[in-house]
Amino acid sequence: MNEITCKCGHVNPEGTELCLSCGRALTADAETKKTSDVMRYEGMARRSQTYKMSVIDKVWNFFSSVKVGVWLIFITLAASAIGTIFPQVIFIPPLEPPEVYYEDRYGFAGKIYYVLGFHDLYNSWWYLLLIAAIGTSIIIASLDRVVPLYKALKNQRVNRHVSFMKRQRVFTEYTVQQPAEKVIASIGDNLKKRRYRIREEDGHLLAEKGRFARWGPYVNHTGLIIFLIGGMLRFVPGMYVDEVLWIREGDTMPIPGTKQEYFLKNDGFTAEQYTAEEDSEVFGETINRVGAIAKNFQTDATLLKREEGTAIGDESKLTEVESHPIQVNQPFKFDNFALYQVDYRQDEIRSMSFDMVNKETEEALGSFEVDLFQPEDEYKLDDEHRVELMNFYPDFSGFEDGEPQTASPVPNNPAFLFKLYSPEKPDGEVAFIAIQESLEPLGENEFALKFSGIETRDVSGLTVRKDLTLWILGLGGAIFMIGVIQGAYWNHRRLWLKRTEDGKLLAAGHTNKNWFGLRKDLEYAFNGTGLAQPKDHMEENLNKKASGDVKEEKNNDTTS
Partner 1 sequence: MSKRKKKRLILRISILTVLIAAVAYTLYSTLTDEEKTLVKAGDNAPDFVLTDLDGKQHRLSDYEGQGVFLNFWGTWCKPCEKEMPYMESQYHEFKDQGVQTIAVNVGESDFQVRNFAEKYNLSFPVVRDAQRDVYDAYSIGTLPTTLLISPEGEVVDVVKGEMTEETIASYMEQIKP
Binding site for partner 1 (CB under 8 A): 47, 51, 54, 56-57, 59-60, 123, 125, 128-129, 132, 135-136, 139-140, 143, 232, 235-237, 251-254, 256, 259-260, 263, 311-315, 373-377, 389, 391-392, 394-395, 406-409
**Of 248 and 535, which has the nearer Cβ to partner 1?**
248
Looking only at Cα atoms, what is the longest distance across the chain? Answer: 136
**Of 91 and 125, which has the nearer Cβ to partner 1?**
125
**Of 143 and 162, which has the nearer Cβ to partner 1?**
143
**Of 362 and 377, which has the nearer Cβ to partner 1?**
377
Are the C-beta atoms of residues 337 and 466 closer than 8 Å to each other? yes
**Of 372 and 439, which has the nearer Cβ to partner 1?**
372
The dihedrals phi and psi of 77, each to the nearest 5 degrees, come to: -60, -45
Measured from the CB of residue 138, what is the shortest distance to partner 1 in angstroms? 11
Per residue, the 3-state secondary structure of 242-260, as one string, reads EEEEEEECCCEEECCCCCC
**Of 160 and 265, which has the nearer Cβ to partner 1?**
265
Measured from the CB of residue 266, what is the shortest distance to partner 1 in angstroms? 12
Measured from the CB of residue 374, what is the shortest distance to partner 1 in angstroms? 5
Helix (H, G, I), strand (E, B) or coil at 178: coil
Measured from the CB of residue 406, what is the shortest distance to partner 1 in angstroms? 5
Measured from the CB of residue 60, what is the shortest distance to partner 1 in angstroms? 5
Give the C-alpha distances (Å, rounded to integers) separating 328 from 3, 279, 347, 437, 550: 67, 20, 20, 40, 57
**Of 207 and 387, which has the nearer Cβ to partner 1?**
387
Are the C-beta atoms of residues 315 and 305 closer than 8 Å to each other? no
**Of 181 and 315, which has the nearer Cβ to partner 1?**
315
Measured from the CB of residue 354, what is the shortest distance to partner 1 in angstroms? 16
Residues contacting 142, CB < 8 A, separation 6+: 217, 218, 221, 222
Measured from the CB of residue 372, what is the shortest distance to partner 1 in angstroms? 8
**Of 165 and 459, which has the nearer Cβ to partner 1?**
459
Per residue, the 3-state secondary structure of 417-435, as one string, reads EEEEECCCCCCCEEEEEEC
Measured from the CB of residue 496, what is the shortest distance to partner 1 in angstroms? 31
Are the C-beta atoms of residues 278 and 293 closer than 8 Å to each other? no
Measured from the CB of residue 265, what is the shortest distance to partner 1 in angstroms? 10
Indicate the burial class of 522 (C-beta count within 10 angstroms; 0-12, 13-18, 19 or more): buried
Q: Which long-range contacts (CB under 8 A, 24 or more apart) does 351-354 make?
A: 351/454, 351/455, 352/414, 352/451, 352/453, 352/454, 352/455, 353/451, 353/452, 353/453, 353/454, 353/455, 354/387, 354/433, 354/449, 354/450, 354/451, 354/452
C-alpha span between 39 and 249 (Å, rounded) = 70
Indicate the burial class of 514 (C-beta count within 10 angstroms; 0-12, 13-18, 19 or more): buried
Are the C-beta atoms of residues 298 and 341 closer than 8 Å to each other? yes
Measured from the CB of residue 259, what is the shortest distance to partner 1 in angstroms? 8
What is the helix (H) or strand (E) element at residue 199, kind and residue range? strand 197-201
Measured from the CB of residue 235, what is the shortest distance to partner 1 in angstroms? 4
Per residue, the 3-state secondary structure of 463-479, as one string, reads EEEEECCHHHHHHHHHH
Task: Give the residue among 421, 461, 466, 475 at the shortest CA–CA distance from 445.
Answer: 421
C-alpha span between 104 and 97 (Å, rounded) = 11
